[in-house]
Structure 1
């Protein structure tokens, strides 16, 4: 997070951002009610339950509200003013 950001949507914001931390929770749901039947720890997933492999956090523009992967904001931040 030591690189400049720029919002790809509003194209003006370079300073106001929210860092959104993502914490995954592996669960098994009842297919009819949607209730949680079981919560899994990271090392006890069932064979057909893949572990979460997405980013640990995402970035939200503090001006327009766009939420994207950090790489998107970094790429636009590399562009000259």
Structure 2
């Protein structure tokens, strides 16, 4: 883990929530929204792309902003370079 700084409130460097993202690939019934089928990464059909997003996101525990971890890290790096 690297130092982070919230780009929104610009003061929080210590209190964060790490939000795990666990995607579930599904096929829904178009009228009811019921799950018709769940897929694994090995059994996706040709029209279903696998999830390619981050495994987790970060929430500032002071102001509530939710972003990718890189946003918080880059903001911390930017402000440490200015010192």
Match of 1:50 in 2: 49
Instruction: Report the alpha carbon displacement of residue 46 of structure 1 after superposing the two structures with TM.
Output: 0.5
| Residue number in structure 1 paired with 2:33 | 34
Q: How many residues align?
A: 80
1:44 partner SS:
coil
Equivalence for 1:75: 74
User: Could you tell me how far apart the structure 1 residues matched to 2:33 and 2:62 are?
Assistant: 35
Tell me the CA shift for residue 41 of structure 1: 1.2
> 2:65: which partner in 1?
66
CA RMSD of aligned residues (A): 0.9
Matches of 2:74 and 2:61, distance apart in 1: 17
4+ aligned runs moved over 6 Å, structure 1: none
Distance 1:34 1:66 in 2: 30
Deviation at 1:42, TM superposition (A): 1.2
What stretches of structure 1 of length at least 5 have no aligned partner?
none
